[in-house]
Structure 1
Amino acid sequence: MAMVSGAKRRRGLEEEQEEDRISRLPDGILGDIVTLLPTNDSARTQVLSSRWRHIWRFAPLNIDLDINPDYPLGANNVTESVISRILSAHQGPCRRFSIPEHYLYYRGLPVTSLDGWLESPALDRLQELEFHYGRPHSSNLAPPASVHRFSSTLRAVSFGGCGFTDGYNASGLHFPVLKQLSLADVRFSESSLRALLSACPVLQSLLLKGSIGLSRVQIASPTLRSIGVRSNHGRVILRQVIIEDAPCLERLLCFDYLGVTISVISAPKLLVLGPLSDQSPRLEFGTTVIQGGSGFFSLKMVVHSVKVLSLFERLSLDVVIEFMKCFPYLESLYIQTKMAGEKNVW
C-alpha cells in the first residue's frame, strides 16, 4: 500500500508540474503581464486559449510603435489600419501611446493621422504620450489639438518635431499631474517655452534634445529634480542653458551637449552631474568654471553638493584630478573612455 501511495503522489506531482499555472492567475495580474508585452505580442495572446481571449481587450494597453530607422521597410508591420483597428477593438484603458520619429515619415502618413488616433475614446485616460512628426521642417507644425483633452491624466509627455511659436496658444495648455517632459527638435519662442513650463506645476524631469529654436533657455522651477541636455551633431541651435533657480534639482545630465554652455546659478541640492570631459563646452557653477578644449579650470569656488560625477571621452590622470578638485565631496566617480589622453596614459 505504501508503494501505491508513493506512486500516486509522484503522478500527482508530475500533473501539477505540467499544469498551466499562469492561466490560473487572476485577470488583473494577467492583464498586467499582457500590458508589459510589445503591442503585436500582447494582441496575439488572444489565440492562446479561451481563458486568454478576453484578457487583452480589457487589459491596460501600451501602443509603442518602436521602429528601426535603418530597416524601415520591415522593421514594424503595424500599419495605420492596424492601429485604428486596435483602438476600436480594445475596451480597456490605454496607458501609453508612442509614435517614434521615423514612423509617420517612412509610412508616408499625414500628420493628421496622429490627431485622428488621439481622438479615439480608447485613449481617454492616457498617461504617457510620445510623438515625433519626423518630417523635414515639421517643426513649423503645431502639436495635435487633441493633446488638450489629456491635460488631467498625462504624467509623461515627449513632444518631437513640432512648433510652439507665438502663433500657437501654449498658454492654453495645462498639465496638472505631468512629471516628465521631453522636448526633441521642437521650435519655441521664449514666451511659449515659459508658458509650457508654467503649465506643469509638478514637473520633476525635463529633457531638452536637439534643436529647439532658441539660442538661450532660462529655467526656474520649484519642482524639477532632473534636467537633461542632449544636442544633435550638426543641428545645434541652443547655445546656453541657464538654471536660474532650481531648489529641488538633484541631477544635471549633459548628454553630448556640443557647443552648449550650461550655467548653474542656484541648485543647492544638486547631487549627480555628468558626463563631462576635457572636451566639454563651458560649465559654470557661480565662479567655478570648467572650460572644455583648453583644459582650463578656475577654482575660485568649489562645488560642495555634487556627490556623483561621470566623466567620459579623452581623459588623462591630470584632467581627472582637476575635476576632483572642483568637486571635493565626491562619493562616486564613473569613468568611461574610448581613448587614452595625451599625458599619463592609464
Structure 2
Amino acid sequence: MLVGGLDLSRNDGDMTPVLMQQALSCLPVPPVTTDAPLRHVLAARPPQDGLDRISNLPVKLLRDIVSRLPAKDAMRTTVLSTRWRRICHSVPLVLVDAHLIPRAATGILRLLHRDADPRDYRTLPLHLAATVSVALAVHPGPFRCVYVTGSNMEAQDAATARWFQLLAAKGIKELVFMNRIKKFGTDVHLPATLFRCISLTKLYLGFWCFPETAALPRSAAFPYLREVGLCSLIMKPQDLAILLDRCPVLEKLMMIGCRWPVCLQFQTRSLRCVQVCSSIVTEITVVHASLLERLLLWDAWGDGGRVHMSSKIKIGHALKLRFLGFLVPGMHQLEIGNTAIKGPQSGGTGKVNLKSWEEAGPIECIQRHIKRLVLREFQGKKAELNFLKFIAERAQVLQKMEIVLTLVTPLQIRWVPS
C-alpha cells in the first residue's frame, strides 16, 4: 500500500509499520504532485511553429508556474537559461522526498512485501537523506513546504541538525518530518534548532524524541504556527505544555499514538480543533477556549487501556463547541461547567436498562438544550434502545435525530416533540 508516496506493505510481525502507516495516513496531502508534470503536457501538444512561448510570459506568471512544480522539476528549469535560473532561485519551492526517489528504488519499495532481498532496500534511506540534503542546500529559499517521510534518521544526527539550520535560515513555512524508524527504541532526538524555524505555519512530526524545552529562552516561539500534528513522539507533558504556550495563533492540534499518558490542559483564544487518536488519555481540561469547535477522541483509552481506569474530560468555557466525541460510557467521565455527566450504574449485572437511566436523575442539557442528536455505529441492542428512549422522552427542544446503523445505510429520523 502506498502512503505518502512510499510503500508500507511490509509487515514482519513488528507493529512499527502498522503504526507508521496510521501516522502517514493522517498527514496533510503534499501541495504538489508528479502525476502531470509540465513536460508531459508539452510533449502531448508541442507548438506547431516550434516557438518557445512559455519563456516569453511575464516574470510574475513564470514565478507562479515554477512555484507549483515539484522541486525536482523546478530545479531542472535552471538549465534553460540565466533568466530561468533567476526565476527558480527566487520562488518558494515545495520539496517532497517521495518525488526524489528514482523509479528503480520505488520498484524495490513495492516489492518489499514479496520477500525482496532486504539488502536492496538497506541503502535507500541513506541515499534519499543525502539527496534531501543537497536539495535543501542548493536552493536559496524560501521553502514553501518540505515533506520528508522516507528517511531513517538513526545515526544521522549531523544531517538532522544541518537540515533544521537550513530550514530556519530559508524561511520554511510548512514542515512534515517523519522519521522512518525500523523498530521502537531507535528514536532520534530532534535538535533544539527546531525552535529557530519561527516562520512555520504548519508542523507535523512523527517518531522522534521531542527536544528538551526546559532551557529554552522565553523568546523561542512559533508566532505564525496554526496547525500541529504530533505522531508517536516521545515527549514529556511539560514539553507539550510549553509548545502550546509558544504557539499564540494555533488553530488545530492533532495527536496520534502518543507514547505517554496524555494529560492535556489548555487555555487559548485561537484553538478551533483538537484531535487525540490511538492514545492513553488520563485527562483533557478545556479551561477557556472561546473558538474551540471540535474535540475529537478516537481510540482514546483510560490508563493502560483498562475500562476501570477512566479518562476525565472537563469542559470549562467553550461556547462554540459543536462536536464532542467519541466518548465511551464507563471509560470517559465528562464534566461540563459545574455539571458532572455520569453514565448509569449497571448494578453489577453488566447491563444498562431504562430504569438505570431514570435513576440517573434529570439532566438539564438533555431537557433544555439538545436540538440535534447523532448516534453512530448503532446496532439496535436493548441497552442502546433504552438510551434512545430516555433521550426521546426527555429532550424538550429536540428537532432532529440521526441514527447511523453499523454497516447499513444511514437512517434519519425527524423528531417532533408532542
TM-score (norm 1): 0.69
Q: Does the alignment pair 1:133 with 2:201?
A: no
Give the aligned partner of residue 142 of structure 2. 93
Aligned positions of 1:50-199 closer than 5 A: 54-66=86-98, 73-74=108-109, 79-100=128-149, 103-105=150-152, 110-120=156-166, 123-135=169-181, 136-137=183-184, 141-151=188-198, 153-164=199-210, 169=215, 173-199=220-246
Matches of 2:145 and 2:166, distance apart in 1: 13
Output aligned runs, 1:289-308, within 5 Å: 289=341, 300-302=363-365
User: Are the counterparts in 2 of residues 159 and 184 from structure 1 also a CA contact under 8 Å?
Assistant: yes
* C-alpha contact (below 8 Å) 1:133/1:161 kept by paired residues: yes
Q: Given the alignment, which residue of 339, 342, 345 partners 2:407?
A: 339
- Partners of 2:295 and 2:325 within 8 A in 1: no
The answer to whether the aligner puts 1:249 opposite 2:289 as a matched pair is no
Q: Following the alignment from structure 1 to structure 2, what is the Cα–Cα distance between the partners of residues 283 and 19?
A: 70
Deviation at residue 54 of structure 1 after TM alignment: 4.8
Q: What residue number does 2:266 align with? A: 219
Structure 1 pair 164/183, CA: closer, same or farther in 2 (3 Å)? same
Kindly provide the amino acid, as one letter, of the partner of residue 178 in structure 2.
H
Q: Does 1:206 align with 2:253?
A: yes
Q: State the Cα distance separating 1:121 from its structure 2 match.
A: 6.9
Compute the displacement of 1:202 (Å). 2.2
Unmatched segments (≥5 aa) in structure 2: 1-46, 111-123, 303-309, 345-349, 413-418
Deviates more, 1:76-85 or 1:110-119: 76-85
Cα 1:180–1:321 shift into 2, 3 Å: farther
Determine what percentage of the aligned residue pairs are the same residue. Answer: 24
Q: Give me the whole-angstrom Cα distance separating, in 2, the residues matched to 1:307 and 1:123.
A: 52
Check whether the contact 1:104–1:134 (CA below 8 A) recurs between aligned residues.
yes
Distance (Å, rounded) in 2 between the aligned partners of 1:306 and 1:66? 47
Look up the equivalent residue of 2:158 and give its one-letter code: T
CA RMSD of aligned residues (A): 4.8
User: Which range moved further: 197-206 or 76-85?
Assistant: 76-85
Deviations 1:75-100 (A, max 9, x none): 79982232222223223411222322
Give the Cα–Cα distance (whole angstroms) in 2 for the partners of residues 184 and 23 of structure 1.
Answer: 43
Separation (CA, whole Å) in 1 of partners of 2:395 and 2:50 = 62
Q: Is the Cα contact below 8 Å between 1:288 and 1:300 reproduced in 2?
A: no
Indicate whether 1:268 and 2:332 are aligned: no
User: Following TM superposition, by how much is the alpha carbon of 1:279 offset from its aligned partner in structure 2, in angstroms?
Assistant: 8.0
How far residue 26 of structure 1 moved from its aligned partner, in angstroms, is: 3.2
- Code of the residue aligned with 1:241 in structure 2: it is I
Alpha carbons 1:139, 1:186 under 8 Å: kept: no
- The residue identity in structure 2 corresponding to 1:198 is D
In the alignment, the residues of structure 2 paired with residue 170 and residue 321 of structure 1 have an alpha-carbon distance, to the nearest angstrom, of 55
Give CA deviations for 1:118-157 in whole Å, capped at 9, x if unaligned.
2227852112223233434468643213213222x12222
Alignment length (residue pairs): 318
Deviation string 1:12-68 (CA, Å, 9 cap, x unpaired) is xxx999987765543333333433344444445557888755543332112233599
Partners of 1:267 and 1:94 lie apart in 2 by: 38
- The alignment's TM-score, normalised by the length of structure 2, stands at 0.59
The structural deviation recorded for 1:164 is 4.4
* Equivalent residue number for residue 117 of structure 2: none
How far, CA to CA, are the matches of 1:82 and 1:170 in structure 2?
Answer: 31
Of stretches 119-128 and 287-296 in structure 1, the one that deviates more from structure 2 is 287-296
Whether contact under 8 Å (1:230, 1:255) holds in the other structure is yes
In the alignment, the residues of structure 2 paired with residue 205 and residue 329 of structure 1 have an alpha-carbon distance, to the nearest angstrom, of: 30
Change in CA separation of 1:22 and 1:305 when aligned onto 2, cut-off 3 Å: farther
1:150 maps to a residue whose letter is C
Report the equivalent of 1:284: 334
Contact 1:276-1:311 within 8 A present in 2 as well: no
